[in-house]
Structure 1
Amino acid sequence: MSGKRKHPDYYKLDNSVDFDEKRKISNELTYTPEEESTGLINRNNASTYITTKRPKGLNILSAAIFIAGEMAGSGVLALPRAIVDSGWIGLVLIVYFCVNAGYGGTRLGACWAILEERYPEYRSPVRNPYATIAYRAVGRWGRAVGIGALLTTAFACIFIFAQIVKDGLDLTESVKHNSHGFRSFFLAFGTILFSFGGASTFPTIQNDMVQKRKFSTSVIIGFSAILILYLPVAAAGYFVYGDAVDTNIVLTVKNTTLVTMANMLLAVHLILAFLIIINPVCQELEEIFQVPHQFHWKRCLVRTGMVCIMVFVGESIPKFGKILSLVGGSTITLLTFVFPPFFYMRLCDQEKQQDWPERNIPIYIRVYLWELIFIGLAGGTASTYSAILDIFGEYSVTKPCYLN
């Protein structure tokens, strides 16, 4: 078997063999690189030939673009205020959470690789990969959407950073940096966590890749791009505006052409990234309601209903920063920092079956994984509690947009 490997997709030229037999042949067939290059494989020296159909999907760079495109967005607008509330240590937290969220993403990739090793039914596209991992533990236009989501955020960050620098050059008074308590710190903690949310879409992106085992490379590239976008805006907002910075940095900088262009680009980003972010959620709902895989009126109904619910929530709770802190400290903490390492350890520790490859986690990796879980739970709980107090505080309740 040396020099040969399984091919994921075959179809039979000879119509005398029925579909089930074709599937059996495709599952058993192996081929050499020379046979793949010709596209024709002689089976048992017979006159029946099988032709290979090359797999389609995302490459490493495309997957990295999707990761960065769906994650880098509105979270960057709240980072300067989060740095003010947490102090300069917030800049360290950005780097720390970026590294940890990225590592958690690679563990999700490893989880899916384990599932494909153990369960052949998951080697074909799956609608709900994140939920599938949890269950087992306890095209071109798409590429354009990913590129557009990333580029619009990148240029918006550049424009905002340029305006902050311009405002900094015009400063005539010293910038104030007041001390803040634990409540403000944990609210900032949740906001920073929100900026690195999006891990729930990682298995879906990986599931669309041709080389799924190289997903970790895509994660590293994607998170490096995110860090390059986040740090300059967050640091500049902190040092230039100090305590005067708003929860949305765009509301703090002077209203110039640069800011207008940044707003327009961020609006475009939200439209493009929305398609990437909402897709895993909609696919999960479609799986629950048994919506057909092909285009169907049920799919339109489910996705329209999902959008209506999201609009209602946004109109009901208009406070921007408080929502970021609440979501960042609760669901995003679990999906990005707690579940990925926990699922990975559970899958590796499961009792080995006869045909399962052996997987061992080194002790230092296991300690690091438990550290991620502990920090995620402790910080997420404190952040969620602080956000709830802030949302329902005596002077914090704001009427919904449709009542105000």
Structure 2
Amino acid sequence: MNVNSAGLTVPFAIMCIVDLFGVFPIVVLPGPIIKCGWSGIPLAVCVFVVQVYTAVLLGKCWIIAEQIDPDIVNKNRYPYAALAELVFGHHVKRLVSVMLDVTVFGASIPNLIIAAYNLHVLGTKASDGNTDISLCIWLVIIGLVLCPPLWLGSPKDMKWLASISVFTVSSVCVLTWIAMLNTESEMYVPVPDPTWDAVALAYGILAFQFDVHPLVLTVQMDMVNKQKLPTVVVSAFFITCTLFVVTTVIGYMQFGGKLSSNLLDELPESRVLNADIMLVTLQICMSTVVSTTALFQNIEHYFNLSREFSWKRCALRSSVMMAAVLIGEAVPRFDLVMGLVGTLLTGPLMFILPPILYARIRSLSRSKATSSPRAGVCCYRTFPGHAKSSSTATEVRHLILPTLLVLAGVLATVLATLSAVREAIVYASFTPSCLMQMLGSDEKKLK
């Protein structure tokens, strides 16, 4: 039994993952899914099922890894990479570390862009257009404000933050539903037939938004009972997916295919909407703090920084956040970042690596059990109800689904990434970023 009495209980672990998902499934996801036509909901269900299945596989891998090599618990600051090192060696560990760090870092950029955009809109409304603080300036302000909370340690140090964030997500749901139901749409736009570009973009956003894999092992390391991870993952997905489905159904009934990538843009101005936007911004900021812990812990391990609070931690985490702000200034649209990161990096982390790690670590476990004098006792029991099977046919069946997932993951990653890159090139040509706008204004002044 893996017990950490000072760690996360099941409810708090669920809150951490629900906080990671945040409000994007409510305000960003319904529009792209509806634009997929009849294929939208089946696509979402497929991605949800795969995400849950592979996240649970990762948790099982870690429990087996502790039985194979008990010293692996000392590598809990970078658990995903530690699994890769145990199974495939140091070179794969470095590759996985880079993929995880880039994924988490890339995920923080659209968070910052949306939060800055919301504050820009609210500031303009509050001053009746007299004060117009640009999105570019808000990006810098948000980055600076987020630095102190980022100096906290791991998810177990952020229980209060996760609790507030989940309450905020619930409040956003209620306010969004009220605002949508109170909106009288002037013209209902029929839902379009599915197109490859719409499906590819929706897949990228789905994979990006529900990619729990960079954080799930970090949460498991902090749990009181690591074997409860499947309960945590399934519960968190059920909660968030229920909120997403309800919002999507209301959006479909009220607006049809009219919804954009930011649902709030389609709602008329009201006090409810303003409060909703403010809470969305607050939750995005809190979610960014929790979701980036895996990145920071990995970097801190690389530089041999102490686990204890220090000025070096503050300097490193603040520097990374300001680098994200700088990139955010150069990005034209947040949904393009979601789609590109979701297709290029999330696919391997979600589809490909977990099944491969699980199949390989089961093989290592069987070898260890066979060579052990206690082979009859040392079966690779991972979670309750998961017992060793000596049947070759059973082992083959265990490998069929992981193999299919790997093949599907490779195909989906390649095709969706090509589409996302093309979309980014097309839209970037007429959607100027903050940096482009500033350069353009400087050129006008010179003239």
Q: TM-score, normalised by structure 1?
A: 0.81
Deviation at residue 172 of structure 1 after TM alignment: 5.4
Q: 2:179 aligns with which of 154, 163, 166?
A: 163
Matched, 1:103 2:119: no
Superposed CA offset, 1:333-389 (max 9, x none): 222232222211121123613348444664444222223223322222222111100
Matched, 1:250 2:283: no
Alpha carbons of 1:175 and 1:109: their partners in 2 closer, same or farther (altered >3 Å)?
A: same
Alignment match, 1:225: 239
Superposed CA offset, 1:280-304 (max 9, x none): 1001001111112222222122211
Alpha-carbon separation, structure 1, partners of 2:166 and 2:427? 39
Matched, 1:341 2:355: yes
Superposed CA offset, 1:135-194 (max 9, x none): 112287521111222221222122212222222xx3454432233421222112211222
Q: 1:316 aligns with which of 313, 320, 330?
A: 330
Alignment match, 2:410: 377
Superposed CA offset, 1:47-95 (max 9, x none): xxxxxxx831111121111111112332432212212331132112222
In structure 2, what residue type is equivalent to 1:305? Answer: S
How many residues are matched?
Answer: 352
In structure 2, what residue type is equivalent to 1:403? Answer: M
User: Does the 8 Å CA contact 2:32/2:260 hold for their aligned counterparts?
Assistant: no
User: Does the 8 Å CA contact 1:175/1:240 hold for their aligned counterparts?
Assistant: no
Alignment match, 1:153: 169
Where in structure 2 are the equivalents of 1:60-75 lying within 5 Å?
60-75=10-25
Q: 1:387 aligns with which of 397, 420, 442?
A: 420
Matched, 1:205 2:219: yes
Alpha-carbon separation, structure 2, partners of 1:287 and 1:124? 11
In structure 2, what residue type is equivalent to 1:342? Answer: I
Alignment match, 1:236: 250
Deviation at residue 235 of structure 1 after TM alignment: 2.7
Alpha-carbon separation, structure 2, partners of 1:295 and 1:141? 12
Alpha-carbon separation, structure 2, partners of 1:176 and 1:288? 52
- My pick for the range that moved more, 71-80 or 280-289, is 71-80
Alignment match, 1:34: none
2:223 partner SS: coil
2:35 partner SS: helix
In structure 1, what residue type is equivalent to 2:308? Answer: Q
User: Does the 8 Å CA contact 1:183/1:386 hold for their aligned counterparts?
Assistant: yes
Matched, 1:181 2:186: no
In structure 1, what residue type is equivalent to 2:178? Answer: A
Alpha-carbon separation, structure 2, partners of 1:198 and 1:192? 11
Matched, 1:399 2:432: yes
Q: Which has the larger radius of gyration?
A: 1
Alpha-carbon separation, structure 2, partners of 1:251 and 1:56? 43
Alpha carbons of 1:229 and 1:125: their partners in 2 closer, same or farther (altered >3 Å)?
A: farther
Where in structure 2 are the equivalents of 1:13-52 lying within 5 Å?
none
User: Does the 8 Å CA contact 1:76/1:195 hold for their aligned counterparts?
Assistant: no
User: Does the 8 Å CA contact 1:164/1:236 hold for their aligned counterparts?
Assistant: yes
RMSD across aligned positions (CA): 2.3
Matched, 1:352 2:367: yes
Q: 1:368 aligns with which of 365, 389, 401?
A: 401
User: Does the 8 Å CA contact 2:15/2:236 hold for their aligned counterparts?
Assistant: yes
User: Does the 8 Å CA contact 2:72/2:82 hold for their aligned counterparts?
Assistant: no
Alpha carbons of 1:94 and 1:204: their partners in 2 closer, same or farther (altered >3 Å)?
A: same
Deviation at residue 209 of structure 1 after TM alignment: 0.8
Deviation at residue 397 of structure 1 after TM alignment: 4.8
2:231 partner SS: helix
- My pick for the range that moved more, 208-217 or 292-301, is 292-301
Deviation at residue 236 of structure 1 after TM alignment: 2.3
1:243 partner SS: coil
In structure 1, what residue type is equivalent to 2:367? Answer: K
Q: 1:296 aligns with which of 288, 310, 322?
A: 310
Deviation at residue 7 of structure 1 after TM alignment: 9.0
Matched, 1:89 2:105: no
User: When you count helix as a share of all residues, which structure comes out higher?
Assistant: 2
Matched, 1:117 2:72: no
User: Does the 8 Å CA contact 1:95/1:227 hold for their aligned counterparts?
Assistant: no
Alpha-carbon separation, structure 1, partners of 2:48 and 2:60? 18
Alpha-carbon separation, structure 2, partners of 1:362 and 1:241? 49
Identity level (%): 23
In structure 2, what residue type is equivalent to 1:341? Answer: P
Q: 2:346 aligns with which of 332, 335, 348?
A: 332
Alpha-carbon separation, structure 2, partners of 1:277 and 1:173? 39
Q: 1:126 aligns with which of 51, 55, 76?
A: 76
User: Does the 8 Å CA contact 1:75/1:194 hold for their aligned counterparts?
Assistant: no
User: Does the 8 Å CA contact 2:75/2:82 hold for their aligned counterparts?
Assistant: no
Tell me which of the two structures has the higher relative contact order, counting C-alpha pairs closer than 8 angstroms and 6 or more residues apart. Answer: 2
Alpha carbons of 1:154 and 1:372: their partners in 2 closer, same or farther (altered >3 Å)?
A: farther
- My pick for the range that moved more, 174-183 or 264-273, is 174-183
1:246 partner SS: coil
In structure 2, what residue type is equivalent to 1:85? Answer: K
Alpha-carbon separation, structure 2, partners of 1:240 and 1:365? 44
Alignment match, 2:131: none
In structure 2, what residue type is equivalent to 1:123? Answer: V
